[in-house]
Structure 1
Amino acid sequence: MKTNSYAPIEAREDGIRIVLAGAPLDNDNRGVEALGTSVATYLAGAPSVERLSMLDGGWGVRTTPLPDSSAVVERIGVRNSRRWHRRESWTRVRIDQALGGLGNPLVARLTQADAVVDLSGGDSFTDLYGPQRLDTVCAPKEAALRSGRPLVLLPQTYGPFTTTDGRRRAERLVRSATIAYARDSWSHDRLLELAGPDAHSSRFREGVDVAFGLAPQRPDDAIAAHLDALAGEVVVGVNASGLLREVSAGERFGLAGDYIGTMTDMVKALVAAGAYVVLVSHVHGKHPLENDSAAFDLIDDALSPSERRRTWRLDPTLRAARLKWCIARMDWFTGSRMHATIAALSSAVPAFGYAYSDKARGVFGTCGTADQVADARDIAGAEAVEQAMASFSARDEVRRRLEDHVPAVVDRATEQLDEVLAAAQAWRAEGSAEVVA
């Protein structure tokens, strides 16, 4: 063993200070928002925490209350920007760190932090989305290490890495982290591969996705009333990913067939089976190439008038906690967005994942339902619809499995945050942390 010494913090009797990166609250992706809201609400409300500073893509430093909570967080804008002279630019942050801070508020918060915790958007610590996205994901991790602070990688997926440079960068960051969590057993294996043969279990841990701990919030009365009026119906939720709707996306992610055609046929089959289908967007905003509503536009155009009358689009502007409240009232759910299905799983709603990466099977596996996932890279069309309908038919049995597994997963979602808080308190008291070489 060796001991890593961290930059000193002025002695104080108050609580610990944490910087949270990789999950901004104002995000068009409700999955990323669910991650940030879950962690921020828990950490900011902990008696031991004096200040929680969240990094986001805004400008300047702002203090705001968390939604539906008495907790308050500090939000600090930082981004990859061509306006490198601005303090919110990562280029400027690197320069200011090298020159002692120069009054940069982010540099000050990093220097004062008892821990820098990072989520990487849950599944963005990969070069699959290109070098610019990887730069954005790595920037706060590298800034934490430059400031000499303990870096904690909260539960997430690691990889895939398709380039030598991307993998080496990830290996360096993982091995420099004081603690790193994976969000399922499959991701834990990938984490250990990056950590190398000397990886020690005290540092590289298996956890669960923090969004399992997101507390649902009731939406406005009109939406709640619409769902209440469906009592007696078999209500199912369908999430289609706008990211996968273009032909180019099929080629990029290696999909087995026509994604929109498959999802359309799935909706048609569910309606034919007597279900009432609620269409659930989980990414909504100003980036049309990823907007789930655009995928539903294509599906809607392919439905007959009678099929359309058996569907309803949930308000795509709903925030993550309110979406979870709605999903929790469904009898079955299917989706391609990972965190849309997590909203179902964590509510013990039987779910079927139709995804394009290995991450879904690992997360479903934490709930004992790894068999409820189909890989869109392997099957499409009639075969995918058949598997989805088999899952729909087995929903009662799957619900029983979830009721057995999910409570422990939800408990683990907060236990791992308690571990981080205890470690941060110890690091502050000692001024160092033991790290296996």
Structure 2
Amino acid sequence: MLTVGLLFFSSNSDNLGVGALTVGQIDILRGISRATGIDIAVTVFDWVGSRPAYVEGPDITIRHLSGEVMKDPRKVMAMFRECDLILDIGAGDSFADIYGPKRLNRMIYLKYLAHLSRCPVVLAPQTFGPFTSWLTRPFARDLIRRAVLVATRDDHSTAALRALGVTRPVVTASDVALRLPPEGSAPIWGRPTVGLNVSGLLMAGGYTGRNQFQLVADYPTAMRDMIGQLLALPERPEVVLVPHVISPQTPSEDDYTAALSLQKEFSDVTVAPAFKTPGVAKAYIASLDFFAGARMHACIAAFSSEVPVVPLAYSGKFEGLFGSLGYEATVDCRALGQDALVQSVLNGFRNREALARQARIARAVGQDRLRDYTEALARVISEVALRKRSGDQMRRASGHQWRAMDERL
């Protein structure tokens, strides 16, 4: 039995996008297990949450990383040493300084503990950077150098690694959430239906409350204008507000709270349920005729279901992911004003049949790229399993020699 740890994934996050990464990656690991005959047990290192775990099975174990546990690096390293291999996905896009130093510092701390535990680490497909601070760039380079396999989820991230000075081989893959299976039944609509994901985080101005992501338009005003114009279209579409971060204990991030507030202003809109799992959310989104939103994994749920979608980007990760696959419908909220933003979504709805064809082709490209990552990961797993059987654990990244200094990091 080979134990694979998942770091910076989540089994219970209120952000269903992070959960979609977990479910998608576990689906990939189970496929590798079937293909190679290697029994794989998965340990998810997670924080305690109020939501029930949405990954389960006899092959799944959840270990909690609390603040108290993290204060003792020896305890954390002991947990990591129970694994034969660790997959680190950086929460998709958090191995960067875009979200502030606190999140990045915690991430760097745990990454080094994983390496100091002498467990080989795979950097699973993710967005790398931006690393704008001169303080963070050397740590980023070093951590990438130590990994046994590095995969990005888009061309932009691969280019960013090269600009950072990374010369090692990198697999340019795609987002593992493309492998998320839908779960449960979906509604049946009687007329054309538009799904709109309104980000509670952007409605609040980001984590700082002061337009943290430097959007050109006033986001709340643009969303109200968009809803009004969608409702007024000649097709009289059903407009459904679809939350993808459902976190009632943190209203400043909660899409569901934002949706209910807008429903009070626009009584003709429908608010989708507070989904329990990423798969249930995907099944619901797959039932729609058109989708637009600022939560990237809500857009991926639409895209991977071949629902025409206009992603509303607040960072470069959107264009990086979708553009790398040849899907050219992303709208950059950091560059467009309110009128242009709203019109881009309305035009997307009018041209939804063409967008659906484009999504179908681009989705196939994404699946091909994920196959490249799956094959590379399968080779790593096979090597680790072989070394384990022979009693020679692969406890260092290729080409990295451990030094006494490493033990003091």
Aligned with residue 192 of structure 1, among 150, 153, 162? 162
SS at match of 2:5: strand
Aligned-pair CA distance for 1:208 = 0.5
Distance between the aligned counterparts of 1:381 and 1:298, measured in 2? 20
Query: Which stretch shifts more, 275-284 or 106-115?
Result: 106-115
Tell me what 2:150 maps to. 180
Letter in 1 for 2:240: V
- The letter for the 1-side match of 2:48 is G
- Deviation string for 1:28-62 (max 9, x for gaps)? 00000100111124325624133211100139xxx
> What residue in structure 1 maps to residue 98 of structure 2?
128
Residue matched to 1:55: 45
CA contact under 8 A between 2:28 and 2:179: conserved in structure 1?
no
The 1-side partners of 2:202 and 2:178 are apart by 25
Paired residue for 2:344, among 370, 382, 387? 387
Letter matched to residue 280 of structure 1:
V
Secondary structure of the 2:216 match is: coil
Q: Cα–Cα, structure 1 residues 367 and 344, in superposed 2: closer, same or farther, change >3 Å? A: farther
Could you say which residue in structure 2 is the equivalent of 1:292? 255
Q: In 2, are the aligned partners of 1:184 and 1:362 still within 8 Å (CA)?
A: yes
Amino acid at match of 1:385: V
Amino acid at match of 1:27: S
Residue number in structure 1 paired with 2:272: 314
Change (3 A) 1:301 1:166: farther
Counterpart-to-counterpart distance in 2, 1:236 and 1:58? 35
How far off its partner does 1:407 sit? 2.8
Paired residue type of 2:22: G
Match status 1:90 vs 2:70? yes
Q: Is contact 2:54–2:277 with CA below 8 Å preserved after alignment? A: no
Q: Deviations over 1:362-417 (max 9, x none)?
A: 111244213x1111111131111011111111111111122223134235435523
Instruction: Render the CA deviation track for 1:88-143: whole Å, top value 9, x for unaligned.
Output: x2221x2x2xxxxxxx4x53442243311111110111122222211232233212
SS of 1:435's equivalent in the other structure is coil
Q: Does 1:435 align with 2:405?
A: no
Pair 1:215-2:175 in alignment? no
Name the counterpart of 2:228. Answer: 268
- AA aligned to 2:177 is A
Separation in structure 2 between the aligned mates of residue 324 and residue 65 of structure 1, nearest angstrom: 14
1:284 partner letter: I
* Amino-acid identity (%): 29
Measure, in 1, the Cα distance between the counterparts of 2:193 and 2:326. Answer: 23
Runs (4+) off by over 6 Å: none
2:26 aligns with 40
Q: Which residue of 1 aligns with 2:299?
A: 341
CA shift, 1:312, in A, is 0.9
Structure 1 pair 112–428 and aligned structure 2 pair: CA distance change class (3 A): farther
The gaps in structure 2 that reach 5 residues or longer are 401-409
Contact 2:29–2:40 under 8 Å retained in 1: no
More deviation, 45-54/313-322: 45-54
Q: Name the aligned partner's letter for residue 228 of structure 2.
A: K
2:371 and 2:273 mapped to 1: Cα distance?
29
Structure 2 residue identity aligned to 1:263: M
The answer to whether the 8 Å contact 2:171/2:373 transfers is: no
The answer (yes or no) to whether the contact 1:250–1:259 under 8 Å persists in 2 is no
The reply to whether residue 118 of structure 1 matches residue 80 of structure 2 is: no
Map of 1:302 onto structure 2: 265
| Contact 1:57/1:78, CA 8 A, preserved across alignment | yes
CA contact (8 A) 1:65 1:72 kept: no
**Amino acid in structure 2 at the alignment position of 1:72:** D
- In structure 1, the partner of 2:3 is 17
Pick closer, same or farther for the CA change 1:250–1:212 going to 2, 3 Å. Answer: farther
Match of 2:379 in 1: 422
The answer to whether the 8 Å contact 1:210/1:414 transfers is: no
SS in structure 2 at match of 1:74: strand
Tell me, in whole angstroms, the C-alpha distance in 2 between the residues paired with 1:163 and 1:301: 43
3-state DSSP of counterpart to 2:40: strand
Count of residues paired in the alignment:
382
1:66–1:72 Cα contact (<8 Å) kept: no
SS at match of 1:252: coil
TM normalised by structure 2 equals 0.87
> Unaligned regions of 5+ residues in structure 1, if any?
1-14, 84-88, 97-103
Q: Is 1:362 paired with 2:349?
A: no
| Cα distance in 2, alignment partners of residues 270 and 249 from structure 1 | 27
User: How far apart, CA to CA, are the structure 1 residues paired with 2:80 and 2:204?
Assistant: 40
Q: CA RMSD in A?
A: 2.2
